[in-house]
A and B are shown apart, each in its own frame.
Chain A
């Protein structure tokens, strides 16, 4: 597998050769920032297009097909339109908080986005408590949503925001628990190390067998809830709360929430791919050396995106199939079922690891 850190190290030494180190780091930071923003935008556009086509497929429709070939330019048109739309300022809203809220949500999604290991040696934020950092910064999003609901000075948004607060905080527990399961299996919190181990010893979902599969399923459910997507889309339940916490946002304010929703979906899937499905590690089947050699030839980021988009598809499938839960059902699902199961799962994983029962 090609190690991308060779390129970055070479680039760093090249810059250091012509300028002092602090300017070199400054320039690198700018490049990385640009990289994140561009990737973020591209992924959002791809995901929105994908969502429309996938949901059209499930609903016996065609989906966008008039704007550009196969409707490929549809999302660009949407973005252009949203950029030129009026941003409404309301008289009785708390202006500062109201304007700040979308940026909290964006910030949370950017920070989590930066944690993802794209390829071997291609990580932006990678340190020894990476998984912990990931959970911590994803919590900022709740603040944004609560602010959006509160500052709008309107009844539907506040109900949506309160629902959202209850939902996100509850399901974060399950996410934490399932990630802890994997961390116990790998013995490290560093995301790049977790992937490296999977490349060496096989994917976690295979290596950890029963507890890992259990954790994967719980992660998918809780992750879906974290992204506010159906059947857990209560905070913006269209048929109940018109548009939930972002009812009063127009133009790009709404656009940011919309983007963040799709990116959170991707981040959730990417994290599932990273910690359970081996991240950039290729599919290796012991004994089939020829097959393994071919697989190893495919670049790591292709593997990573393939896995992430597979999980995205799964989540979209779920979204477009199930009816929405009610708030009490949602909370009892988490507190009565998912959390106890994932706690039990941690013990199971501990036993598996201690007794050396991993595959």
Chain B
């Protein structure tokens, strides 16, 4: 089940990509992975998907030059490639020709070296620097001159007379340490730029020195509101590579847990949304129901936030006999409270004024920006991984994909509200029929994956979360990459909030519901 990868020379890359996009309608760039193949050189893996036909394609391109690697950009074809390519530049030092903004994005601008290269001596060259971080207002663009050599030109990101407000890295409404630089004209937002990496923990690099079971510890801490789904994705990816079958009982449990986690995440979303728009009381209401859910989690696997539940081939513990009853009680409580949430906040005239028609993202932009999850579905793009590539029990249960067409904050908000009910429906169908069976498949103590590249996506709470593993047949992976569900959302802030008021920037940020450690990894 390895990925079928086609190799293209860098010189033909842009043409081929354009062909794929226009002729085969590959308008969704799922993932873009930077790679260091050692001797072979540096390269990039592109994963494409067509939103019309559902076709997928995976391509790779390699450049042997390790000193000055150049690859043409695809950021003019897919907007999301802009930020993905900056990430690759940051970690591997691959420079993208014609990319308008070649600045580092995760690491400090005075960082030396490229940490994800196999030969990088990061620790020695980069001691802990306590000086203020330099933030350049200009950037470089590399382009091919007519004679074939590479030229550099300087682009201005922030002009001298712009009133730039730093929203973050320490700000109450960025839900962590996101740093947005917003250029304001009075109260109106003219432009938003992202500075990421304040919680970049180097998960992908650490993972390369870990065995597969050890890898599992990392995923829960990426997007802690989708801890279950993240780990589910990684486990499935490894199981798929190993050819390990898991029992039906495990599939049932995993699906139920995924949906419970989704509800917990959306409850937090509601709390954050209300807090960011100033309705402080509503914040406490969903936390009340969440605590009930936390208790179920805690009883069954000991953790409140970081669960460490899924394992390769099963789950850590069997569910308790009381689980079914407790989940049903929670379900009843949530359905009862649901109207209350809408009464106190969503249907409030002020809240409506703050949400309707604010931060609209068109369908084309949503696809081009790779906005999966409830945000993309609010712009009329059917992107639910549970429908597109069903996994676990999702092809057997009956549920509708919530799609709205307005693309504004209100649509995103309601999408999440409706998804909670839909998740309850899914749980309803499964909870009474959990089959008997073992909760952990038998497997060898040492796990080695066959050679090749593997990719598995799940629908996490805020969109498609993909795990990409390249294995050379060892105990440890050669390269692990997570397709973050939040990075595209944060990247869309600029598109969504241009021309809106400063207060809307906060509301839009809340409606995107990104989780920063998931962005930075």
A residues with CB within 8 A of B: 55, 58-61, 155-156, 159, 163, 230-231, 233-234, 237-240, 242, 320-329
Of B165-173, B215-223, B385-393, the stretch lying at the interface with chain A is B165-173
Chain B residue numbers with a CB within 8 Å of A242 are 171-172
Q: Does B344 contact A (CB under 8 A)?
A: yes
| Stretch touching chain A among B201-209, B261-269, B322-330, B496-504 | B496-504
CB-CB < 8 A to B278: which residues of A? 230-231, 233, 237-239, 322-324
Interface segment, B21-29, B280-288, B461-469?
A: B280-288
Interface window among B96-104, B346-354, B439-447, B479-487? B346-354
Inter-chain contact B506/A240, CB cutoff 8 Å: yes
Counting chain A CB atoms within 10 Å of each CB, which of B172, B278, B506 scores highest? Answer: B278
Residues of A within 8 A of B503 (CB): 234, 237, 240, 324, 326-327
Q: Which residues of B contact A322 (CB under 8 A)?
A: 278-279, 348, 350
Evaluate contact between B284 and A60: CB separation under 8 angstroms.
Answer: yes
Q: Which residues of B contact A323 (CB under 8 A)?
A: 274, 277-279, 282, 345, 348, 350-351, 354
Q: How far is the CA of A163 from the CA of B350 in the complex (A)?
A: 18
In the complex, chain B residues whose CB is within 8 Å of the CB of A233: 278
Q: Which A residue sits closest to B184, measured CB to CB?
A: A159
CB of B308 to closest CB in A, whole Å: 31
With contacts A320-B280, A323-B354 taken as known, whether A156 is within 8 angstroms of B165 at the C-beta atoms is: yes
Sort A-B residue pairs by CB-CB distance and give the 5 closest, nearest first: A324-B278, A323-B279, A59-B284, A239-B173, A323-B277
Q: What residues of chain B lie closer than 8 Å to A60, measured between beta carbons?
A: 284-285, 288
Between A59, A324, A329, the greatest number of chain B beta carbons within 10 A of the residue's beta carbon is seen for A324
Q: Please determine whether A231 and B281 come into contact, CB atoms closer than 8 angstroms.
A: no
- The distance in angstroms between the C-alpha atoms of A61 and B285, with both chains bound, is 10
Q: Tell me which residues across on chain B come within 8 A of A328, comparing CB atoms.
A: 187, 501
User: Shortest distance in angstroms between A115's beta carbon and chain B's nearest beta carbon?
Assistant: 31
* Residues of chain A with a CB closer than 8 A to B351's CB: 323
Residues A326 and B504 in contact, CB atoms below 8 Å apart = yes
The answer to whether the Cβ of B17 comes within 8 Å of any Cβ in the partner chain is: no
Could you list 7 examples of A-B contacts with CB < 8 Å? A59-B281, A320-B281, A323-B350, A324-B277, A324-B278, A325-B350, A326-B504
Q: Which of A55, A61, A231, A237 contacts B350 (CB 8 A)?
A: A231
Chain B residue nearest to A156 in the complex (CB): B165
Beyond A60-B288, A323-B282, 10 additional contacts (C-beta under 8 Å) are A59-B280, A59-B283, A231-B350, A237-B503, A323-B274, A324-B279, A324-B350, A326-B353, A327-B501, A328-B501
8 A Cβ contacts from B26-45 to A: none
- Whether B87 sits at the interface, judged by CB under 8 Å, is no
In the bound complex, do residue B353 and residue A321 qualify as a contact, i.e. CB atoms below 8 Å apart? no
CA distance A163 to B186 in the complex (A): 10
Residues of B within 8 A of A231 (CB): 278, 350
- Is there an interface contact between A321 and B344, defined as CB atoms closer than 8 Å? yes
B275 within 8 A of A: yes
Closest to A59 in B: B284
* Contact of B276 with A by CB under 8 A: yes
Q: Which residues of A contact B344 (CB under 8 A)?
A: 321
Task: Tell me how far the C-beta of A334 lies from the nearest C-beta in chain B, rounded to whole angstroms.
Answer: 14
Say which residue of B279, B283, B288, B502 sits within 8 Å of A240 (CB atoms).
B502
Nearest chain A residue, comparing its CB with the CB of B506: A240
For residue B171, which residues in chain A have a CB less than 8 angstroms away from its CB?
A: 242
A197 CA to B278 CA, complexed, in Å:
41
Q: Is the CB–CB distance between A238 and B502 below 8 Å?
A: no
Chain B nearest Cβ from A237, distance in angstroms: 7
Residues of chain B lying within 8 A (CB to CB) of residue A320: 280-281
Taking CB atoms and an 8 Å cut-off, the chain B residues in 492-516 that contact chain A are 501-504, 506
Task: List residues of chain A with CB within 8 A of the CB of B163.
Answer: 155
Q: Nearest Cβ in chain A — how far from B271, in angstroms?
A: 12
Q: Do residues A326 and B501 form an inter-chain contact, with CB atoms below 8 A?
A: yes
User: Smallest Cβ distance from B66 to chain A, in angstroms?
Assistant: 43
Chain A residues whose CB sits within 8 angstroms of the CB of B501 once the complex forms: 326-328
Closest chain A residue to B353 by CB distance? A329
Contacts of A239 in B (CB 8 A): 172-173, 275-278, 506
Within the complex, what minimum Cβ distance (angstroms) separates B287 from chain A? 9
Distance A230 CA – B274 CA, assembled complex (angstroms):
13
Residues of A contacting B345 in the complex (Cβ-Cβ under 8 angstroms): 323
